[in-house]
Amino acid sequence: MAVEIERKFLVTGDGWRKAHGVRLTQGYLNRDKERTVRIRLAGEQAFITVKGVTSGALRAEFEYAIPPTDAEQLLQLCDGPIVDKTRYSIEHNGFKWEVDEFRGDNAGLVVAEIELEHEDQKFDLPSWVGREVTDDPRFFNSNLAVNPYRNWRDQLI
């Protein structure tokens, strides 16, 4: 089984901005609690991804490349609004960090993610990384599609 171990943090600085970004457009065919099915356009590439239940930083993940024209059509079938963001990849002390800068109804939200080989793997935080939000479902992209950041950003502590 393919497994994703991912930790997520709010971004507090702009040291990541020198990285090159790729525009991502994604929607959800299914946002069930037990599984999500995502369609993503990433620049010239496209993917369908199935993710299982999140348990801490761990969940099953299956991702497959699909033709971009198929992704464009599948995005029309998605449930709820489309999530629009730019993703930046940054290397820091041997790890790849991905920073997502959201647009549209999620504008103002910037989140950094790191994928790990095992849940207790040690890593150093870049200076521009703030509070961890791995366990906060408000920051799941599937939730941002239906309850965007603009609806609750003033409640963020």
88 as an active site residue: the answer is no
Q: Which of 28, 64, 88, 149 is catalytic?
A: 28
Residues with Cβ within 8 Å of 10's Cβ and at least 6 positions away in sequence, in order, are 110, 111, 112, 129, 130, 131, 133
pLDDT at 1 over 60: no
pTM (two decimals): 0.91
The percentage of the chain sitting over the pLDDT mark of 70, rounded to a whole number, equals: 99
**Domains, the chain, with CATH or none:** 3-155 (2.40.320.10)
Average model confidence (pLDDT) across the chain? 93
- What is the average pLDDT across 15-31? 93
d(CA 109, CA 145): 13
Coil/strand/helix, residue 2: coil
Per-residue pLDDT, averaged over 18-38, amounts to 92
Q: Provide the pLDDT for residue 157.
A: 62
Strand, coil or helix: 93: coil
**What pLDDT does residue 156 have?**
75
pLDDT at 39: 98
Q: What is the pLDDT of residue 125?
A: 96
Q: What is the pLDDT of residues 72-99, one digit of tens each?
A: 999 999 988 899 999 999 999 999 999 9
